[in-house]
Amino acid sequence: EPEVTQTPSHQVTQMGQEVILRCVPISNHLYFYWYRQILGQKVEFLVSFYNNEISEKSEIFDDQFSVERPDGSNFTLKIRSTKLEDSAMYFCASFTPDGTYEQYFGPGTRLTVT
Amino acid sequence: GEDVEQSLFLSVREGDSSVINCTYTDSSSTYLYWYKQEPGAGLQLLTYIFSNMDMKQDQRLTVLLNKKDKHLSLRIADTQTGDSAIYFCAEGGSSASKIIFGSGTRLSIRP
């Protein structure tokens, strides 16, 4: 069964550093998403991406965040200058309108900012 | 704004039915989902229901939707130890839209 993959599974970084979280969506999918889950809290939508541009973003997705699909395969989330409160599990998801109505989620990257 | 609420914990005896309840606020929600998250794992879609349906059954899972009250429930029949997980209720406006998640209900199974 096709799956979304994410790397790394765990990233530790110091406050103020830049991090890039990587995702490989399912190959024929057209819509891509990032969500995050701070420990013990809800899964929150960050951003959706379609046709090589952001289609929607949440209030959380400020200027510190950016997304890119650099090579038609990977989908990345960059945090320019990490803050302690960016520590969370980050989930990538992908979707295509093939009648299944399912956004497929990756296993997540746990980001720890120290 | 959009919000999804669910109780945080549920404990059931193995073999009994589990019922997890959820309420949502967005009356324009088209899709309502139940996701399962096992420890250390990602989010697995269990089932979904369209807002124009009242009920959907899929093997041991039954989803009931009361659109008037914006209430969604997930019933798991014959609950097994492998059903221990966090269950997230979620809603979306269209199939490609962002998904709004509840806080998750942690289901624990006692012998």
For residue A97, list chain B residues with Cβ-Cβ distance below 8 A. 95-96
The Cα–Cα gap between B14 and B111 comes to 5
Instruction: Note the pLDDT tens digit of each residue in A18-29.
Output: 999 999 999 989
Are β-strands B18-24 and B4-6 bridged in parallel, bridged antiparallel, or unpaired?
Answer: antiparallel
Among all residues of chain A, which has the CA nearest to that of B49?
Answer: A101
pLDDT for residue A95: 92
Question: Is A28 an 8 Å CB contact of chain B?
Answer: no
Residue B111 neighbours by CB distance under 10 Å: 6
Confirm if B46 and B57 have CB atoms less than 8 A apart.
no
pLDDT for residue A72: 81
CB contact under 8 A, B98 and A31: no
Q: What is the CB-side half-sphere exposure of residue A51 using CA atoms within 13 A?
A: 3
**Chain A / chain B CB contacts < 8 angstroms:** 50
The Cα–Cα gap between A103 and A94 comes to 5
**Higher model confidence: residue B32 or residue A102?**
B32
Residues 6+ apart with CB under 8 A from A40: none
Question: Is A87 an 8 Å CB contact of chain B?
Answer: no
